[in-house]
Amino acid sequence: MAKATKKQALGRGLSALLQDPSNDIKSIQDKNADKVIGSIVELELGAIEVNPFQPRTKFNEESLRELASSIKELGVIQPITVRKLGFNQYQLVSGERRFRASKLIGLERIPAYIRIANDQESLEMALVENIQRQDLDPIEIALSYQRLIDEIQLTQEQMSERVGKKRSTIANYLRLLKLDPIIQTGMRDGFISMGHGRAIINIEDQADQLDIYEKILTHKLSVRDTENAVRNFKSNEDTVTKPTPETLPKFVKKGVKDFSDYFGHKINVKVSKNGSGKITIPFHSEEDFNRIKKLVQRDK
């Protein structure tokens, strides 16, 4: 009788097996684990939570809607990957765009590969999987490499083996994190390319980096033009005495960085002797102007 019951349970499929409390699988050694781990299983979307280790921080809404439309027509072609947390509880390891797009069109279930992994393994899997995607921006990739160093304690050589990239390529991405945060934001938003960033990083002082960045945006400099501008800057750096900057009041110095970080540009501030002054917010395109306008209107 027991054999018949077991056969009937397995006959309902892997999804039914996972929803049976008597067959709760917590490790690779558990009963029936070999039938589930690595197999494609239909899981309820409501049983899956997003991955807190997800390196991607921005999801393009238009791109998500396009993916959702494709899923509506063709279904989820590539299963997501999850790790098992508890009975009928799962956490995304990879495939958050497919997960979000499926929720947009009201799907109740999604095909998924199930893994058994601890937090460290889950983080490493998520980071490595996302690094290999084509739609991450250079700063997201650099941050993912940095997390593998900081949180998984991988060396650049070990990362090279994990992600199939040359060690020099990994080093070039990591160097981008030495750029001023405003320049990093500009790269993430597509105002400049990784080639521009690699040229600018040869300048150590971040204030000087921002000067070159402003020139790139104002004059629409190519990567080669930027490399020439950096070379010219460095060749004149030791021979040209920089003018002493005007001394700004402490309250202004303290606030300029906050303004610059908020608007995503280097903000110019001039203060007269009587204490009055002027704040200048640059913009580099109609799109950039509208972005700044929204930021100002949001605070009204």
The pLDDT value recorded for residue 288 is: 73
The per-residue pLDDT for 4 is: 37
Q: What is the pLDDT of residue 110?
A: 92
Task: State CA 84 to chain mean position distance.
Answer: 24
Query: Which two structure tokens, joined as six digits, stand for 164?
Result: 């199939």
293: number of CA atoms within 13 Å, CB side? Answer: 7
Cβ partners under 8 Å of residue 210, min gap 6: 180, 182, 183, 266
- Neighbour tally for 18: CB within 10 Å: 23
Catalytic hit among 42, 44, 96, 151: 96
- Closest by alpha carbon to 17, among 29, 3, 4, 35? 35
Give me the count of residues in the chain.
300
Contact 252, 269 (CB under 8 A): yes
Whole-Å CA distances, 29 to 7, 26, 32, 33, 112? 20, 8, 9, 7, 20
* Rounded distance between C-alpha atoms, residue 169 and residue 50, angstroms: 30
Residues 6 or more apart whose CB falls under 8 angstroms from that of 225 comprise 219
- Find out whether 45 and 103 touch, Cβ atoms under 8 Å: yes
Whether 96 is catalytic is: yes
Averaged over successive runs of 10 residues, the pLDDT of the chain (300 residues) comes to: 36 55 56 61 89 67 87 86 81 86 92 76 72 77 83 81 86 92 89 94 90 92 93 71 57 76 74 77 74 73
Instruction: Quote the pLDDT of residue 73.
Output: 86
- How is residue 226 annotated by DSSP? H
Residue type, 159: M
> What is the CA angle 114-119-120, rounded to 5?
110
Tokens of 176: 């981008």
CA-based Rg of the chain, rounded to a whole angstrom? 26
Which domains, from first to last, does the chain contain? Answer: 2-118 (3.90.1530.10), 179-237 (no CATH), 250-298 (no CATH)
Closest CA to 209 of 243, 217, 271, 141: 217
What DSSP character marks residue 270? E
Q: Provide the pLDDT for residue 198.
A: 94
